[in-house]
Amino acid sequence: MPMAMPEGTRLNKYISEAGVASRRAADRLVEEGRVTINGRVAVLGDRVSEGDVVAVDGKPVGTRKGDVILAFNKPRGLTCTSNPDDPDNIIDFIGYPERIYSVGRLDKDSEGLLIMTNNGELANSIMRSRAEHEKEYVVKVDRRVTDEFVRGMSNGVPILDRVTKKCLVERTGDKEFRIVLKQGLNRQIRRMCGHFGYTVLELKRVRVMNIELGDLPTGKYRDLTEGERDELFRELGL
């Protein structure tokens, strides 16, 4: 007979998703007796069910439902910075009422999907290079995409004193291809193409992990769906 799965959310995960502390720090808060569930001092391994009131230092905390996680279709010409001195900074363009920042970046001349959030743990987990999270792009170049070019791009390209990781490359048009990367070097796709004598004319990111750009209009953003959020956190182990 299969074992029943424990109900509720692990306490350290709940606190982390509330944006109070990382899981490790949440465990320390519990060990120090600073966390309560429904007025009872919590212990390591406790789980939180719907309707439970969790407090840290006497202050109730919510869940990650309060996190801001947006999909934004960045237009060309915007800079992925919060510097107010840059007239093209992405934060002023979006004008979101809460403080958010981009998860990673796209070059000023590139466009497409950016994840915007106020959750630092989420951002760090996505950007962690060793995690090899997939990012997919559609690229238009100035020359015909040949079989040799596709093989060369797929097998790794020497740039920035290293060879890029092998990746999926597929021709989608006479002068267009899609590429799925699991690393994020500076201007990586443009440098890879340049190695073979190609110039990138248009570069659009269409997917980050399970989040797809879809038909989101340029310059607009949307909240991630509950399903997208749950899958994203699950893939990141958060």
**Cβ count near 98 (within 10 Å):** 7
The CATH code of domain 9-64 reads 3.10.290.10
- What is the model's pLDDT at position 9? 85
| Domain 134-208 fold | Alpha-Beta Plaits (3.30.70)
Model pLDDT for residues 42-84, shown as the tens digit of each residue: 999 999 887 788 888 888 776 555 688 999 999 999 999 888 8
Query: What's the predicted TM-score (pTM) here?
Result: 0.73
- Helix 226-236 × helix 120-127 angle, to 10°: 60
Low-confidence ranges of the chain (pLDDT < 50): 1-5
- Residue numbers annotated as active site: 107
- Cβ–Cβ under 8 Å, residues 53 and 207: no
Q: Which of 206, 212, 208 shows the shortest CA–CA distance to 225?
A: 212
What is the location of CATH 3.30.70.1560 in the chain?
134-208
Right CATH number for 67-129+214-236 from 3.40.50.10490, 2.40.50.100, 3.30.70.580, 3.40.50.720? 3.30.70.580
- Cβ–Cβ under 8 Å, residues 36 and 55: yes
The alpha carbon of residue 9 and the mean position of all alpha carbons in its chain are separated, in whole angstroms, by 23
What is the location of CATH 3.30.70.580 in the chain?
67-129+214-236
